[in-house]
Amino acid sequence: MRLKVSKSKNAASFYVIKSIYNPDTQKNTSVVVEKLGTETELRKKLDGRDPYEWAKEYIDELNRLEKENKRKVIIERNQSVLINKDEQHSFNGGYLFLQQIYHQLGLHKICNDISSRHKFTYDINSILSRLLYGRILFPSSKLSTFESSKQLLEQPSFELQHVYRSLEVIAEESDFIQSQLYKNSLSLSKRNDRILYYDCTNYFFEIEQEDGLKQYGPSKEHRPNPIVEMGLFMDGDGIPLAFNIHSGNTNEQVTLKPLEKQIIEDFKLSKFVVCTDAGLSSNDNRKFNNINGRSFITTQSIKKLKKFLKEWALEPTGWMHNASNETFDLTQLDDNENLCEQYKNVTFYKERWIKENNLEQKLIVTFSLKYRDYQRQIRTRQVERATKLIDTNPKSIGRKRQNDYKRFIEPTNITSEGEVAEKTLYHLNSDTISEESKYDGFYAVCTNLDEDAAEIARINHQRWEVEECFRIMKSEFKARPVYLQRDDRIKAHFTTCFLALVLYRYLEKDLNSQFTTTEIVGQLKDMNFYLVPGQGFIPTYTRTDFTDALHDSYGFRTDYQIVSDKEMKKIYKKTKK
């Protein structure tokens, strides 16, 4: 800051001014920080002291306080002056915490490597980073993401056409990005890659015509649209590891081995346990993970076991639990409230080794009162819905899905005399309800590990996190419906969704999972600042426990009453180390 004296015919006015850089004109501009008064006013105020000497000392003190971030800022506004047209004053700063993770993971270095192998001139690092921040904060189309990136404190250095061109490169380099990201992440923290979780989901398109990756298949949302299928590996800490994209009509069981082979080759991983659900547990996949130090844990449907194994699994005797070395008979729990209360948090188990299709594996069956009560509650609600449907709108009873409440409804097309009825009658099928109730509380897994049942159950229990990854991408990140048409751009879209999920999971981990996804995304999006040219940025967001936790975790603060331009530049620099 420096002194400026504006002289006129009758007076000399004293101002404190400073130079600021205008990114639009790429030139320095002087702005008034404070008006000190006229020379006459100052002489009266200072009792005859030289106003020039006083002003110099005053500005020296302001510069000292500015350097220490302690200067009191005076902001003048005039009620009769309009704001400048098309001049932006509000900016989002929540992305800064994501930017720090982005650079800690070396994604900017990955972009530099990619740039060195291609001939494009646009800044792919700026584009990729904005696509990731936008997917988390302002999930929308590529056009909207480009516009939304102008809301960030640091403005984009690319044009919309560059975004679409970069998608081709991102798709081509997707495997390289994933492998390098894994290697870079090892310098950030140790990865829990001893246990890997794999699952599949699909994403629909708002179209009707199949083409390329967009094919009709069994939709998770039961929508009559073409879909693409995503397979995702996650490590034991819930951090996404790798993904692949397949056409919507691909059997999900055949998607595991190609991606796993890629992990073995590109990530240099060899010994790990693959944990999957029943839909991915083909015999071929189990055998693949029964060699070279690899292992598997997979959900097993009790209903699909051979008859003698099913009888053994449901047999009430021979159960163990960690609190005792003695066997337990589940019939003791029948109508015994005291025992049910005593064992409500206990998981019973039994196990045996089996050999089928030339594969030896251990079958572990567990029983839990909590799980039993949960399944009974779900079925009771479904039966109530089925009963209501029969009474109010039987014409809507059509095709039944496997877990649809309509599976409890049975049609009757003949009379009691055996003649064809004039209209179809519906009733609840008590046999189906009774048959399903036999499996309440029971859960089974198969594994080739020789660990105890409690440890196997603990590992398998974490599968919910990979399902949560899909939920976050579909809900908060709005990864579907997909509007892109070309296969390479579709793959690029899911590459950015995958990378955004990695950033988010690390952010969640740094916050020790104290907050929900809605809280994290919502408050990051609301972390806005009001720009005062020449002075700095005023936070307009509400300071909360969440924002305090963010600042504590990432080592900088943006929640002072005003953050100077100089301090904000330091924050930019810190987040890019």
Q: Give pLDDT tens digits for 426-440.
A: 889 899 999 999 999
Q: What is the DSSP string of 405-454?
A: GGGGEEEEEE-TTSPEEEEEEEEE-HHHHHHHHTTTTEEEEEES--S-HH
Domain boundary among 51, 67, 83: 67
HSE of 232, CA atoms in CB hemisphere, 13 A:
28
| pLDDT tens digits along 118-140 | 999 999 999 999 999 999 999 99
Task: Give mean pLDDT, residues 460-478.
Answer: 92
d(CA 141, CA 576): 26
**Same-domain check for residues 198 and 301:** yes
Query: Is residue 248 over pLDDT 70?
Result: yes
**Same-domain check for residues 416 and 447:** no
> Please, what sign has the CA dihedral across residues 11, 17, 19, 24?
negative
Most confident of the ranges 177-186, 280-289, 446-455: 177-186
Res. 412 pLDDT band, cuts 50 70 90:
confident
| pLDDT tens digits along 457-466 | 889 989 999 9
Task: Give mean pLDDT, residues 206-221.
Answer: 87
Query: Cβ of 439: how many Cβ atoms within 10 Å?
Result: 17
Task: Give mean pLDDT, residues 244-273.
Answer: 94
For tokens 């397979």, the residue is 231
d(CA 352, CA 164): 55
**Same-domain check for residues 428 and 446:** no
**Same-domain check for residues 209 and 246:** yes
Say which amino acid occupies 17: I
**Same-domain check for residues 504 and 410:** no
- Pick from 105, 244, 265: nearest CA to 181: 105
Domain boundary among 28, 44, 67: 67
Q: Supply the DSSP symbol for 361.
A: E
**Same-domain check for residues 216 and 285:** yes
Does 543 fall in a domain? no
Does 383 fall in a domain? yes
Peptide linkage before 218 cis (omega within 30 of 0): no
**Same-domain check for residues 221 and 359:** yes
Query: Is residue 212 over pLDDT 80?
Result: yes
Task: Give mean pLDDT, residues 435-458.
Answer: 93
- Pick from 536, 537, 476, 499: nearest CA to 31: 536
- Asked if residues 195 and 239 have their Cβ atoms less than 8 Å apart, the reply is no
Task: Give mean pLDDT, residues 446-465.
Answer: 91
- pLDDT, residue 22, reads 64
Query: Is residue 356 over pLDDT 60?
Result: yes
Does 419 fall in a domain? yes
| pLDDT tens digits along 94-126 | 999 999 999 999 999 999 999 999 999 999 999
Locate 488 and state its tokens.
């390479």
- What's the whole-model pTM score? 0.85
d(CA 233, CA 282): 17
Number of domains within the chain = 3
Alpha-carbon distances, residue 562 vs 35, 392, 540 (angstroms): 20, 62, 10
- Pick from 417, 373, 410, 372: nearest CA to 394: 410
For tokens 């426990």, the residue is 545
**Same-domain check for residues 10 and 29:** yes
Query: Cβ of 267: how many Cβ atoms within 10 Å?
Result: 20
Residue 357's domain is classified under what CATH number?
Answer: 3.90.350.10
3-class secondary structure, 122: coil
Alpha-carbon distances, residue 49 vs 41, 46, 52, 147 (angstroms): 12, 5, 9, 55
**Same-domain check for residues 260 and 359:** yes
Percentage of residues in the chain having pLDDT higher than 70: 97
Does 340 fall in a domain? no
Does 544 fall in a domain? no
Does 127 fall in a domain? no
Q: Supply the DSSP symbol for 193.
A: T
d(CA 381, CA 505): 34
**Same-domain check for residues 405 and 461:** no
Structural domain including 392 reads: 370-437
d(CA 52, CA 533): 26
Locate 252 and state its tokens.
């999900």
**Same-domain check for residues 425 and 504:** no
